[in-house]
């Protein structure tokens, strides 16, 4: 199904099951984000030694975020938020990997706090993109009918 007046790239991205895929990706961003927050805070306070789990789930979180951003990049007419989300996901990944070597010592808490805030912002970006794509397709479907 294609929509009248859409750009050729936007027509290529829309598949009948795409709204369900975006819904699943949004749910994964939410779920992985919450698990990351819980595990990260547990590591921060010494209640868990799940650094490997946190790293693996963080990488999966960024991958899901990037997939959602790529779908939005081709589905939406405004691409700025999708591009920012792609770059922000890279920042989350880099900060997670480099975190242990940045500012070692007494001020390392600042790096941890920055990682936490960047991660929370990534959850918000993923949620915003998912909602924008869903609304875009609902409007197109309503106008096509």
* pTM, rounded to two decimals: 0.84
**Distance in angstroms (rounded) separating the CA atoms of residues 112 and 97:** 12
Look at residue 84 and tell me if it is in a domain.
Answer: yes
> Of the candidates 75, 71, 119, 72, which has an alpha carbon nearest to the alpha carbon of residue 95?
119
Q: Kindly report, residue by residue over 57-116, the tens digit of the pLDDT.
A: 999 999 999 999 999 998 888 899 999 999 999 999 999 999 888 888 888 889 989 999
What's the domain count of the chain? 1
Tell me the HSE value of 38 on the side-chain side, using a 13 A CA sphere.
7
Look at residue 2 and tell me if it is in a domain.
Answer: no
Per-residue confidence (pLDDT) for residue 15, from 0 to 100: 61
Look at residue 123 and tell me if it is in a domain.
Answer: yes
Q: Kindly report, residue by residue over 108-138, the tens digit of the pLDDT.
A: 889 989 999 999 999 999 999 999 998 888 8
Residue 118 in contact with residue 111, Cβ under 8 Å? no
Residue 144 in contact with residue 3, Cβ under 8 Å? yes
Look at residue 141 and tell me if it is in a domain.
Answer: no
Domain limits at 128?
11-136
Look at residue 50 and tell me if it is in a domain.
Answer: yes
Look at residue 4 and tell me if it is in a domain.
Answer: no
Look at residue 3 and tell me if it is in a domain.
Answer: no
**Distance in angstroms (rounded) separating the CA atoms of residues 57 and 59:** 5
**Distance in angstroms (rounded) separating the CA atoms of residues 88 and 97:** 14
Residue 116 buriedness (CB in 10 A; 0-12 / 13-18 / 19+) = middle
CA distances (Å), origin 132, targets 69, 72, 88? 11, 8, 18
């Amino acid at each position: 199904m294609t929509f009248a007046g859409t750009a050729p790239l936007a027509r290529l991205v829309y598949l009948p099951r795409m709204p369900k895929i975006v819904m699943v990706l949004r749910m994964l961003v939410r779920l992985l984000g919450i698990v990351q927050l819980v595990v990260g805070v547990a590591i921060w306070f010494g209640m868990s030694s799940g650094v490997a789990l946190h790293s693996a789930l963080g990488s999966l979180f960024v991958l899901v975020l990037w997939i959602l951003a790529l779908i939005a990049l081709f589905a939406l007419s405004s691409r700025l938020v999708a591009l920012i989300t792609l770059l922000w996901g890279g920042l989350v990944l880099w900060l997670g990997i480099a975190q242990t070597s940045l500012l070692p010592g007494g001020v390392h808490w600042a790096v941890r706090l920055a990682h936490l805030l960047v991660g929370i912002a990534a959850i918000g970006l993923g949620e915003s993109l998912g909602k924008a794509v869903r609304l875009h397709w609902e409007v197109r479907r309503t106008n096509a009918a």
